[in-house]
Structure 1
């Protein structure tokens, strides 16, 4: 068993796609760096924190991108976002079997705020175009930095989301909520609270992700293979169903995830954080 969370972006790619099949576009040797970080006296990365390219998965051609959480928390800047957009637009041209995104990001890179925000909006538009063309977009979330901010929205625009029990997915990160509304609203140092609210178990129970796996690269690979045919047409009926589900959640007046789990029909909901992945999946409320 190899921890997905402890792997670098390229290590994850090596374990998830077919062995030796990844062919990178715009690799570090091309020295494509952010035009903004140097002006601010900040270190740059020769791939700007994301690896993109072509690979195969279970023998089928896919396009793939993996964000590197060790570089600025996987934050999206101008070049980082442009690489993701370019990958998705090339998918529209070349029509691979699927697009696989190994997401790990704290959101938009604040050093490039406007450029990053524009980039994320372009990623979302390109992703939805890919989906509309019938090419499934699969997102894997299990890195130490989670998937927050604009990339959290991008993930929920995809056809299929796979998370580990230690993965996290949300719009605003715990530190952002605390900074904006105070520790009384959300204590970012309360790790149990953070995972109850944004972690993989919670997201799976609420229907925000489609598959819950252990923190193991092999399980992520198998879940990705299982999702290769997970294309979901973007229809009015599907959107109305999603909006109805979200509206019912907004009516919830509890103050903790455990109360929401109880509302979902889980007996003794307080035990969920201590359950292993198999036991959570066996609850059968997804």
Structure 2
């Protein structure tokens, strides 16, 4: 198992207790034969005693409990080894942050931004963190336990909730906020950055922040249909079957629709849209 959070703390506490009792303890050790295919969370040795230590969640399934009971009997009967099960209480999943609280903190941060940039940064980050959790719930990828700031941003980037560009902006702001929170010198975000961060927090909390996939899909659904039969050609620019009034400037349309989008994300979305149009143009020529 990958040790983290409460599981790792339970292992460290168990290790300390065994060592206090005169045991030599090793962590993540492959067992001797005939169980050499199995890696124990820990092994404790004292004189002729050999103890296999496994760390498990207290809410493990009945099937897991039964398998551990069977393994206990096998180890005792075949080798005279003891199996100790160390249980821990898993973290409680973070609750869904209140939308009104997030909106209020953004407004308060905006109100004091000029007079107290550091205070505004702390307030705005609290709103952003809540907005990220709401966005994660909206996309069905909410973390099962509280995560450190950078880990949360990284996980949401992997899950596609955040673009790489958004991730970089948020990590940069998180670093500034952490420095402020720990009494270190930090340059607050520029007015332009603060404005985007505020708009992002409000949009993400409401469940409709801009990401690359959404922007591309929205544009192709509302302005160009390369894959729907029966739509008349208004223009063949870019290979699309443009809907009435086309062709359209993708950059202009996206900036008007997605006010919280980063410039870098809009530029990338436009490149994807243009690429899709050219691919459909080539397909039509085959």
Q: What TM-score, normalized to structure 1? A: 0.25
Q: What TM-score, normalized to structure 2? A: 0.25
Higher relative contact order (CA 8 A, sep 6+): 1
**Which of the pair has more CA radius of gyration?**
2
